[in-house]
Structure 1
């Protein structure tokens, strides 16, 4: 285990803070321009990227707090009558958990990213089943509406990580 120093603490804070900042800024920009977060899943982008760039244990914090801070700062995702915040919280934490597992597999990066996102999206069924006011048909629609965001996030994160690897090889 690495010894915790001031330098390490600052790196940890920068990683978590950076991911949280982007997780708040991207959805805010989408909402300002009237672009649906439910379709493009901008809250996913930074957390997904962070799970493949940084220590996953740190990204659990970012995944947990991203929907909560978004809700406190912007009111989105909604938390009360429509439990979007809770559903995103479950999805993002599962995203980090699954990515931690798949990164240990000797598989292609694209497969790791796809598995992480797909399992995260499917995990929200648990939140829906617990929250009895939400119908299963809503959940199916929620998954369907977010398909463009799933594809976009997979592509963005894959291209960024591939670009990073190419730069590191030089």
Structure 2
């Protein structure tokens, strides 16, 4: 498996670049879910709300990732009614976990690789599933991303790798 060293950033909240970067990733997280929802069950299968959160946190640090993680689902809900209010807390939990785990992994490994992104995705999904199970009290519902969201996890891993390596890297 090839590993690529990339320039990673850790932007602070007092830097205007933090908010500019977060705004671009939030915009991506507004557009991509709308495109995926054109496919039957596209949101449940492709998990698009997490895609740009992963990239934001991995490339620009957990603070940009956290802004993206919180504002993306909330704005999607307010503007488009998706995700529905009932699942918004679980999606926010997983989004925040993704931002923290991706930011940590990028800082720890200082490189991009498919195995590292796979660990990031599995970590936030596993911890998020346990948290969602605690919130809703229904394991089958909490386990849904692992039952039908495998294509979305693959999209996050492979698409995130390619996006970071070829588009953000340049």
TM range (shorter): 0.7 to 0.9
Partner secondary structure for residue 77 of structure 1: coil
Q: Which residues of 2 match residues 77-156 of structure 1 at below 5 A? A: 77-80=83-86, 83=87, 85-106=88-109, 109-124=113-128, 125-132=130-137, 135-156=138-159
Structure 1 stretches of 4+ moved >6 Å: none
CA positional deviation for 1:13: 2.1
In the superposition, relative to structure 1, how do residues 67 and 153 fare at CA in structure 2: closer, same or farther (>3 Å)? same
Structure 2: give runs of 5+ residues left out of the alignment. Answer: 1-10
Q: Which residues of 2 match residues 35-50 of structure 1 at below 5 A? A: 35-50=41-56
Does structure 1 conserve the Cα–Cα contact (< 8 Å) formed by 2:133 and 2:139? yes
CA offset digits 1:129-169 (Å, max 9, x no partner): 1233xx112222332100011011211111122225874xx
Q: Number of aligned residue pairs: give it.
A: 158
* Distance in 2 (alpha carbons) for counterparts of 1:150 and 1:117: 7
CA positional deviation for 1:33: 4.5
Normalising by structure 2, what TM-score?
Answer: 0.81
In the superposition, relative to structure 1, how do residues 25 and 166 fare at CA in structure 2: closer, same or farther (>3 Å)? closer
Normalising by structure 1, what TM-score?
Answer: 0.81
Q: From the CA coordinates, give the structure whose radius of gyration is larger.
A: 1
Does structure 1 conserve the Cα–Cα contact (< 8 Å) formed by 2:13 and 2:63? no
CA offset digits 1:104-141 (Å, max 9, x no partner): 33375222211111111112221321233xx1122223
CA offset digits 1:5-24 (Å, max 9, x no partner): xxx42x22211110111111
CA positional deviation for 1:99: 1.4
Does structure 2 conserve the Cα–Cα contact (< 8 Å) formed by 1:70 and 1:77? yes
Does structure 1 conserve the Cα–Cα contact (< 8 Å) formed by 2:47 and 2:149? yes
Does structure 2 conserve the Cα–Cα contact (< 8 Å) formed by 1:87 and 1:128? no
